[in-house]
Structure 1
Amino acid sequence: MKTLFLTLSLSLAPLSAPLAETLHFVTEEYAPFNYTKDGKITGIAVDQVEAIAKAAGIDYTLEIMPWARAFAMAENQPMHCVFTTGYNRERAERFVWVNPLLKDQMVLLKRKGEKYDGLTIVKARELRVGSQRGDFAVEALELIGFKDIDLASDIDITVRKLLSGRIDLMPTSIKTYEKMVKDGQPVEKAMMLAGQVYGIACHKDTPPDLIKSLQAELDKLIMSGEQDRIFTAYGLPPSTRTAENGAKK
């Protein structure tokens, strides 16, 4: 009987092994989605990532760093995932994905009171635009013809450049813009850009069982209304529902 029990245990062990591995989540300072407050990493995306990892029974770590470094770690180091990451066709094959942590629209911001009458993409390309190194927004701007984008290591530096007049425009999500206004930052919308889905991008060798478990828990989070509650807790309106048309790939 002991021999039979041991044989069964060994045969079942590999099925649960992937969930016992440690998954390393990395992100950047980018309120309100992921940022440090009172020494703790928090935010709309962080709350979702921690909730689904715990629900899936996955051992994980969470670290905050400059975006370019975080993105490179997830692409080059097994068992690493980066968020909150813009999903597009070019990135689709470079990672395995858990989507959507949010669906948001992009916006070009200007200093409050600055006049750019009748601003179009063509006119905006003639202005000084800044963003963060490795950020999805850089790729989005380059695809529509922007060149010589002023790159910083994080969003706080980009905002300071905008407010000091070193750049004229900066791209961000509409929800980040709303948070900036709420916090009293003197910025305004210059023009709207296309919408975007954001999620968790993991190294391609991440065990499929881990990705499947995380996606299943995120789907539950969305359908239960808990994702909406998280957005509301941070004082922002919920994302457009994307469980049916964007959560699975």
Structure 2
Amino acid sequence: MSICLGALALLGAAPAARATELRILTEENPPISFSEQGKAAGLGVDLVDDIQRRLKSHQAVQVLPWARAYAMLQQEPNIALFATMRTAEREAQFKWVGPIATVKTSFYARRGDGVHLANLAEAKAAGVILVPREYYSHQVLNHLGFVNLQAVSRPDIMVRMLMAGRRGLMVGDNLTIAALLQNVGAKAGDAEPVYTFMESQYYIAFSRQSADALVQQWQASLDEMKRDGRFAAIYAKWLPGETPPGLRPNAPAEPGAAGK
């Protein structure tokens, strides 16, 4: 009862917390977010739209290249960016609303190439690894001392390079790999995970200058979505067969945990 009353109190404070307009950003990362006929679509977009509906807000979601959107999140006030992986390296940089999806991050190779990795040490010695620039995976692997990374501007470029045989490994995740492959003309199973090094969760990240009341309102609305079944319905629409994350946020992801 006290939780519901607290959520209602936060919702009632919405107009004051929206005194400064929020700018909501995302990237091309299907099925979480993507452009469709000039508008943003995807799982994350549906979630954000429903949160705004509950808060009586109507800010449009902008689709930008990830590196640009991430720089804006770090440097400008009143920015919300999704889907942003919550990692230990990023924990203190932003304010967090979520979780909105659970993700397994792996090194991927072309199916049939015979690539096998047993641990991170083998990955460090495996040749050049493709990774999207300024993604959580890029940051985490840099932090772990990887010097064999080739950062590219977009995930689709990375996938094209892997499938063309220009590199033997790339970094991807279980939620977006099928759509990425299909978008470059490959089949969903043409790339396979050869070592999973991280299990973590996507969040909506807010710039540090964002008002605490606004972030709390968004979290309260997301929690209500999870209680009333709307969150599960959106998740099933975009990620059928996957289990949606619950109410309790997990701790920031620790790299290598999934590979132990």
Tell me if TM exceeds 0.5: yes
Provide the secondary structure at the position in 1 that maps to 2:121. helix
Q: Is the 8 A contact 2:132 2:155 kept in 1?
A: yes
Q: Is the 8 A contact 1:23 1:61 kept in 2?
A: no
For 1:244, give the aligned amino acid: R
How many angstroms does 1:240 deviate by?
4.4
Q: Is the 8 A contact 1:22 1:61 kept in 2?
A: no
Provide the secondary structure at the position in 2 that maps to 1:16. helix
Partner of 1:136: 136
Question: How far apart in 1 are the matches of 2:16 and 2:248?
Answer: 30
How many angstroms does 1:180 deviate by?
4.5
Q: Give the direction of change, closer, same or farther, for the CA distance of 1:229–1:22 in structure 2 (3 Å limit).
A: same
Provide the secondary structure at the position in 2 that maps to 1:60. coil
Q: Is the 8 A contact 2:128 2:167 kept in 1?
A: yes
Question: How far apart in 1 are the matches of 2:18 and 2:215?
Answer: 10
> What does 1:75-114 align with in structure 2 at a 5 Å threshold?
75-114=74-113
Q: Is the 8 A contact 1:22 1:58 kept in 2?
A: no
- Count how many residue pairs are aligned between Structure 1 and Structure 2: 234
For 1:211, give the aligned amino acid: V
> What does 1:18-29 align with in structure 2 at a 5 Å threshold?
18-29=17-28
Partner of 2:43: 44
Q: Which runs of 5+ in 2 are unaligned?
A: 1-12, 252-260
Partner of 1:149: 149
For 2:247, give the aligned amino acid: A
CA offset digits 1:25-63 (Å, max 9, x no partner): 111111111111233211111111111122112342311
Report whether the alignment pairs 1:226 with 2:234: no
How many angstroms does 1:15 deviate by?
7.8
Question: How far apart in 2 are the matches of 1:69 and 1:182?
Answer: 25
Provide the secondary structure at the position in 1 that maps to 2:158. helix
Fraction of identical pairs, as percent: 26
Q: Is the 8 A contact 2:98 2:249 kept in 1?
A: no
Deviates more, 1:149-158 or 1:138-147: 138-147
> What does 1:47-62 align with in structure 2 at a 5 Å threshold?
47-62=46-61
Partner of 1:4: none
Q: Give the direction of change, closer, same or farther, for the CA distance of 1:52–1:238 in structure 2 (3 Å limit).
A: farther
Q: CA RMSD in A?
A: 2.2
